[in-house]
């Protein structure tokens, strides 16, 4: 993959050397930290780069493009249910600096609050006569998570980004917000009698310590895979979700931290 990255940089350099074809910079504003935090849109942006390179005669081979699009070390979980595929991917999160900048200028590092994590949850139909994609409903931690429609070369997709507090740091922002893991997801459809219950752990599913670091890449992948626990339940046994408070849903992302603050103000447990 490192060789593929080097080939991409060389091709971009060659394209820019022959002339800057960009019509101008685009101001993405808040979408830069929302839309482009999600892997789906980052892959679309990379495809646009591939198209530009191809148009200028310095396109990359198919195997190089595939190596750039596939990141084997990025956490990703998938499961199939009722003719659809649910995928959960680690998204980009932008950690804020803790404290003022001036007091940390003399040091070799700066403290950030790394307690917030972001996931992308996406849903695709895998059978032509399967349940209508637009009617699927997703709840995360009991909160209704409205899915957004998008489209790529593989077809239609419904997706959303979810931010949550992964752990409570010894020094960080918002100390009153407790850790929100493991995450509990419920996926249901009005035409499907059962619902999918997904629990995503950030560590060992039973809360146990691992016996040292993984010895191989395969063992590391196995550890990541076992953190997703799935089961099917009757739709009648699934509790109704609550709508996210105002401000918790911004762009493509649902912020569960704001949902927790709203529940705290209302006295919910």
- For every one of its 269 residues, what pLDDT tens digit does the chain have, with 9 covering 90 and above? 899 999 999 999 999 888 766 677 788 888 889 999 999 999 999 999 999 999 889 999 999 999 999 888 888 999 999 999 999 999 999 998 887 666 666 666 778 889 999 999 999 999 888 899 999 999 999 999 999 999 998 899 999 999 999 999 888 888 888 999 899 999 999 999 999 999 999 889 888 889 899 999 899 999 999 999 999 999 988 888 899 998 999 999 999 999 888 776 766 65
Q: State whether 116 and 234 are in the same domain.
A: yes
Residue 5 located in a structural domain: yes
Count of structural domains, the chain: 2
Q: List all residues 6 or more positions away from 248 whose beta carbon is below 8 Å from its beta carbon.
A: 143, 254, 255, 256, 258, 259, 262
Q: State whether 198 and 240 are in the same domain.
A: yes
Q: State whether 67 and 87 are in the same domain.
A: no
Residue 122 located in a structural domain: yes
Q: State whether 268 and 144 are in the same domain.
A: yes
Q: State whether 201 and 156 are in the same domain.
A: yes
Q: Is 81 helix (H, G, I), strand (E, B) or coil?
A: strand
CB atoms within 10 A of CB 261: 17
Question: What is the pTM assigned to this prediction?
Answer: 0.89
Q: State whether 166 and 186 are in the same domain.
A: yes
Q: State whether 51 and 117 are in the same domain.
A: no
Q: State whether 191 and 260 are in the same domain.
A: yes
Residue 23 located in a structural domain: no
Q: What is the pLDDT of residue 196?
A: 96
Measuring CA to CA, which residue among 58, 43, 181, 171 is closest to residue 104? Answer: 171
Residue 86 located in a structural domain: yes
Query: What's the longest Cα–Cα distance across the chain?
Result: 63
Q: State whether 161 and 54 are in the same domain.
A: no
Residue 250 located in a structural domain: yes
Measuring CA to CA, which residue among 77, 88, 28 is closest to residue 251? Answer: 28
Is the Cβ–Cβ distance between 122 and 40 less than 8 Å? yes
Q: List all residues 6 or more positions away from 269 whose beta carbon is below 8 Å from its beta carbon.
A: 263
Residue 254 located in a structural domain: yes
Per the structure, the complete domain to which residue 62 belongs is given by 1-18+29-71
Is the Cβ–Cβ distance between 155 and 248 less than 8 Å? no
Residue 131 located in a structural domain: yes
Q: State whether 35 and 78 are in the same domain.
A: no
Q: State whether 53 and 149 are in the same domain.
A: no
Residue 165 located in a structural domain: yes
Q: List all residues 6 or more positions away from 231 whose beta carbon is below 8 Å from its beta carbon.
A: 196, 197
Q: How many Å from the N-terminal Cα to the C-terminal Cα in the chain?
A: 46
């Amino acid at each position: 993959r490192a060789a593929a990255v080097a080939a991409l940089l060389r091709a971009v350099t060659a394209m820019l050397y022959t002339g800057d074809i960009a019509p101008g910079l685009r101001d993405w504003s808040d979408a830069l930290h929302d839309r482009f935090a999600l892997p789906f849109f980052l892959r679309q942006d990379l495809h646009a780069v591939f198209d530009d390179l191809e148009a200028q005669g310095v396109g990359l081979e198919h195997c190089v493009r595939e190596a750039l699009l596939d990141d084997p070390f990025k956490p990703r979980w998938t499961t199939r249910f009722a003719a659809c595929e649910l995928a959960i991917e680690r998204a980009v999160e932008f950690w804020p600096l803790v404290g003022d900048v001036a007091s940390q200028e003399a040091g070799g590092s700066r403290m950030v609050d790394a307690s917030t994590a972001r996931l992308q949850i996406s849903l695709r139909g895998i059978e032509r006569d399967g349940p209508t994609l637009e009617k699927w409903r997703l709840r995360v931690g009991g909160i209704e998570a409205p899915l957004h429609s998008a489209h790529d070369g593989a077809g239609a997709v419904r997706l959303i980004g979810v931010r949550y507090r992964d752990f409570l740091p010894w020094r960080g922002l918002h100390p009153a917000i407790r850790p929100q893991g493991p995450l509990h997801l419920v996926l249901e459809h009005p035409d499907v009698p059962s619902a999918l219950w997904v629990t995503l752990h950030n560590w060992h599913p039973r809360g146990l310590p691992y016996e040292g670091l993984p010895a191989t890449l395969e063992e590391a992948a196995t550890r990541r895979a076992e953190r997703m626990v799935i089961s099917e339940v009757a739709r009648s046994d699934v509790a109704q979700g609550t709508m996210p408070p105002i401000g918790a849903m911004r762009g493509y992302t649902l912020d569960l931290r704001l949902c927790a603050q709203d529940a705290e103000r209302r006295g919910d447990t």
